[in-house]
Amino acid sequence: MEKTTFSSKTFHSAVPQGSFGDISGGSQRRKEYDSPDSLHSVGWTYPKRIRLVTPDNPLPLDYGTPFAPIDVEYEMLGELASDRNNVILITHALSGDAHVAGWDATASPTWRPWRLDRPGWWDTVVGPGKPIDTNRFCVLCVNILGSCYGTTGPASINPATGRPYGQNFPLVTVGDTVRLQARLLDHLGIKQLYAVCGGSLGGLQAFEWAVAYPERVVKCIILAAGPRLSAQGLGFNVVGRHAILSDANFNNGDYYDQATKPDDGLAAARMLAHITYLSGQGMEDKFGRRRTTRQIGRNGSANGTGEQFEVESYLQYQGQSFVARFDANSYLYITHMLDNYDGTQWGNGSLQAACARIKAEVMVVSFSTDWLYPPECCREFVVALMRNRIPVTYMQVESNYGHDAFLVEAKTVGRMLRAFLLSPTLARRQFLRGGQCK
């Protein structure tokens, strides 16, 4: 990859026109990104990977025996302050990775090639002068446990057998992931997080952080996430997993040596999931019943005229590009992680009791057309905190983008994030009042 070719301040994605590779709108098929030399980009980034958990000090898991070894991949952007109190932990969602912003300097046509075309997944919000300002804060993003982007997961080699874990990987939870992140902070010498911020599965992690480590979180931002997934959300994930498990190539998770992997199952799971990330109205606006003549899918068209519905080619593109970058076993494990999470666990079934542990200032943001975590679901956090007389900030964003809105509505969300991150902390307000800190 010739890195000096990026000379203009913005340049176009390498995703071919008409492939609907971006999620920002139907008519806009090209997307402008901040180039690595832009003043608003964090520039080239270098993922770090360390062996964090060794067999002599294994990580306790919610289900099953303590687990080791564990490698962790993370990225750190911006300067760590001398007192290490300016850290914002960004927790990523189901298919995300530690590459939150900027351009991966290690990507190549053979290693994570999808990163050549686009910056990190939250580049619109994270960077110098952006709402999560890397001039001011040190941004840390950690790949979750069970993923296939550097942190140990089912595709990693089991040292006991010399082969990938596959379905022998232990069942992991949001709690385990947060415990692992806390170990990383210990390793980096960071006692307290200025903020923890995430959307969807990342929002569950943010909440878990505030409840599990109340003393270590100053501000907690939960986007498009509620205390638990509804039956409808569980149902979607069941169908997605069913598609993978019933793929002839799945071979009970032991497919890593095979020439053909359970790609059709994984693509089907992703296509279904992608529908749940949009809203009915959003899809209507973006695709309607328009047709395209371009052949994107392997399957061609159903009617033999070379035509597809735009929504068809879009979903096929989403499925195929996902297969190229994701592992089917990881998908199973991480959707289980999402399904199993229940925010009431810390309160023995009572969300109010769980929230009583929280010492952070919390902001919850919901999106009006979100299917997975609709506003009423996100509001459960708000009401539970208010029942404890814990001050809470809640915003409901009107958006047609469904669950994806937490990424797509970058301007609106960014405005809230900036305001909340820069507002005086509770401790600062008490200091200004001259009162005693509680």
Partner 1 sequence: MKSKANQPPAKSDLDAEALKCLPGVEDFLRAIGVKSNDSSFSALYQRVADFTKSGKDFSEHAPKRWEDPLIETLVRPNDSILDLGCGEGDLLARLSYQHDVVVQGVDRDGDAVIRCIERGMPVCHEDLERFLDALPDQCYTYAVLEQTLQTLHAPLKTLRQMLRVARWCVVSFPNFAHWSVRLAFSLGGRMPVTSSLPYAWHDTPNIHLCSITDFIDWTEEDNINIVKAWALVEGKVLDYVVGGENDYNITADQALFVIERKDFPYPN
* Structure token pair of residue 289: 């019943």
- We find the least distance from the C-beta atom of residue 436 to partner 1, in angstroms, to be 8
Catalytic residue among 123, 247, 263, 370: 370
- We find the least distance from the C-beta atom of residue 85 to partner 1, in angstroms, to be 12
Active-site residue, 403 included? yes
Active-site residue, 370 included? yes
Instruction: State which residue, 171 or 395, has the beta carbon closest to partner 1.
Output: 395
Instruction: State which residue, 238 or 419, has the beta carbon closest to partner 1.
Output: 419
Instruction: State which residue, 192 or 425, has the beta carbon closest to partner 1.
Output: 425
- We find the least distance from the C-beta atom of residue 315 to partner 1, in angstroms, to be 33
- We find the least distance from the C-beta atom of residue 424 to partner 1, in angstroms, to be 4
Catalytic residue among 92, 99, 274, 403: 403
Catalytic residue among 200, 279, 366, 399: 200
Give CA torsion, residues 288, 291, 292, 295, to 10 deg: 110
User: Interface with partner 1 by CB under 8 A: which residues?
Assistant: 361, 363, 379, 382-383, 386-387, 389, 391-396, 415-416, 419-420, 422-426, 428-429, 431-433, 435
Active-site residue, 200 included? yes
Instruction: State which residue, 186 or 376, has the beta carbon closest to partner 1.
Output: 376
Q: How far apart are CA 340 and CA 55, in angstroms?
A: 27
- We find the least distance from the C-beta atom of residue 349 to partner 1, in angstroms, to be 17
- We find the least distance from the C-beta atom of residue 412 to partner 1, in angstroms, to be 9
177 neighbors 211 (Cβ within 8 angstroms): no
Q: How far apart are CA 360 and CA 363, in angstroms?
A: 10
Instruction: State which residue, 162 or 435, has the beta carbon closest to partner 1.
Output: 435
Instruction: State which residue, 68 or 386, has the beta carbon closest to partner 1.
Output: 386
Catalytic sites, residue numbers: 200, 370, 403
